Amino acid sequence: MIRTENLTRDFGGGRGIIGLNLHVPKGTIYGYIGPNGAGKTTTIRLLCGLVRPSSGRAFINGVEVIPAHTAAIKRMIGFLPDIFGVYDQMSVWEYLDFFSAAYRIPPKERDTRIREALRLTDATYMLDYQVVSLSRGMRQRVGLAKTLLHDPEVLILDEPAGGLDPHARIEMRRTIERLRDVGKTIMLSSHILPELASVCDVVGILKDGRLVAQGSVAEITDKLREKLILVLAVDGGVPHAVRLCLEFPGVDEATAAGNEIRIVYAGTRATVADLNARLVQSGIRVTSLREEEPDLEQVFLTVTGDHAPAENG
Ligand SMILES: Nc1ncnc2c1ncn2[C@@H]1O[C@H](COP(=O)(O)OP(=O)(O)O)[C@@H](O)[C@H]1O
Ligand SMILES: [Mg+2]
């Protein structure tokens, strides 16, 4: 539904996006993740035809994003910008009616479309609210409803959870899932990986204008983690167990905390059983052995090479 071929937009000085090959199949939620300044908004603007590429091409449902196809592209895409106009002096209904007219939706259909869009974003109760009175989370819902008015096949949402509190983020996640369930293809951006990663079928991680990893969250974490982290619990004999672990081929580190030993293991999953067998044969009573869950935040920082803690907002 969304495809790019070596899409490039060069702003000079190494800024912009370079040689991007994206592929977003119909009906998927694609998470476009990268730190601030990585080029997410630039990519999104290229896909919507708001910025022209320096080279390369972009396609929405097979239609190339070029000025001659503007009308067709606009019909297919619902775009939620990272910052959208406020139109404070209007009610939510007036705001959406205004955009229905802009989308050339026939007057007779507008009311139905507006109500359907608000239903999908759980914002029906806001119909008569003044836009000025809405919280950030409510505004995001109304903004999302606006993108749905013309019933586009593709939704492109730039930082839809940006600035939302945790509760509003969970609601946004549910709304996005609901939109996928009614058949939309959704691309959303975020500078915080774990924020919306759980709803994404595929994520692409962008760094300095280049896609550095792409796949399901599980695939990416697996690929990036060269080493397994094992946590072993033993019933007594901790120092002896630590020594045995360190002697085992592939064990880089083994540190004890209480009756648990945390092991950094460069071997394969298949040989974890051999390590366990070695300990048991040496008289160590192993009470549990598990693999530590990868920390998404850590994975993101590893890929983007950014070791500062991700900002929370
Ligand atoms: N119109 C522009 N002219 C020059 N540089 C730009 C322009 N738009 C974006 N940039 C630069 O391109 C880079 C990527 O920006 P952007 O796409 O907004 O990143 P993100 O959305 O991932 O935070 C940044 O370094 C930004 O300063
Ligand atoms: Mg941005």
Which residue, judged by its Cα, is nearest atom 18 of ligand 1? 41
Average pLDDT estimate for 248-263? 95
218 Cα: distance to centroid of ligand 1 (angstroms): 29
Average pLDDT estimate for 28-43? 94
Q: Is the pLDDT of residue 214 over 70?
A: yes
Provide φ and ψ at 11, rounded to 5°: -95, 5
pTM above 0.75, yes or no: yes
Give pLDDT tens digits for 6-25. Answer: 999 999 888 899 999 999 99
- Sheet (strand 77-80) strand order: 77-80, 154-157, 185-190, 29-33, 202-207, 210-215
Q: Is the pLDDT of residue 115 over 70?
A: yes
Ligand found nearest the CA of 159: 2
The pLDDT score that the predictor gives to residue 76 is 96
The pLDDT score that the predictor gives to residue 312 is 42
Q: Which residue has the tokens 């899409």?
A: 7
Q: Which residues contact 191 (CB under 8 A, 6 or more apart)?
A: 33, 34, 35, 36, 38, 40, 159, 162, 310, 311
Which CA distances in Å does 54 have to 12, 46, 57? 11, 10, 9
The pLDDT score that the predictor gives to residue 269 is 84
Q: Which residue has the tokens 């002896």?
A: 240
pLDDT interval class at 294 (50, 70, 90): low
State the average pLDDT for the chain. 90
83 Cα: distance to centroid of ligand 1 (angstroms): 14
Which residue, judged by its Cα, is nearest atom 6 of ligand 1? 11
**89 in ligand 1 pocket by Cβ < 6 Å?**
no
**49 in ligand 1 pocket by Cβ < 6 Å?**
no
Of all atoms in ligand 1, which is nearest to the CA of residue 206?
22
Handedness of CA 299, 305, 310, 313 (dihedral sign): negative
Which residue, judged by its Cα, is nearest atom 8 of ligand 1? 42
Which residue, judged by its Cα, is nearest atom 9 of ligand 1? 42
The pLDDT score that the predictor gives to residue 306 is 54
61-75, 93-107, 287-301: the lowest-pLDDT one: 287-301
Q: Is the pLDDT of residue 308 over 70?
A: no
The pLDDT score that the predictor gives to residue 307 is 46
Q: Is the pLDDT of residue 194 over 70?
A: no
The full set of domains in the chain, from first to last, is 2-216 (3.40.50.300), 226-293 (3.30.70.100)
> Between β-strands 55-60 and 2-12, what pairing exists: parallel, antiparallel or unpaired?
antiparallel
Beta strands in 74-146 (DSSP E): 77-80
The pLDDT score that the predictor gives to residue 295 is 66
**156 in ligand 1 pocket by Cβ < 6 Å?**
no
**52 in ligand 1 pocket by Cβ < 6 Å?**
no
Ligand found nearest the CA of 210: 1
In whole angstroms, give the CA distance from residue 134 to residue 234. 55
Which CA distances in Å does 175 have to 153, 179, 185, 192, 299? 16, 6, 13, 19, 26
Q: Which residue has the tokens 């449902």?
A: 61
Q: Is the pLDDT of residue 44 over 90?
A: yes
**36 in ligand 1 pocket by Cβ < 6 Å?**
yes
The pLDDT score that the predictor gives to residue 235 is 95
Give pLDDT tens digits for 69-98. Answer: 999 999 999 999 988 676 778 999 999 999
The pLDDT score that the predictor gives to residue 216 is 87
Give pLDDT tens digits for 152-175. Answer: 999 999 999 988 888 888 889 999
44-58, 141-155, 158-172: the lowest-pLDDT one: 158-172
**304 in ligand 1 pocket by Cβ < 6 Å?**
no
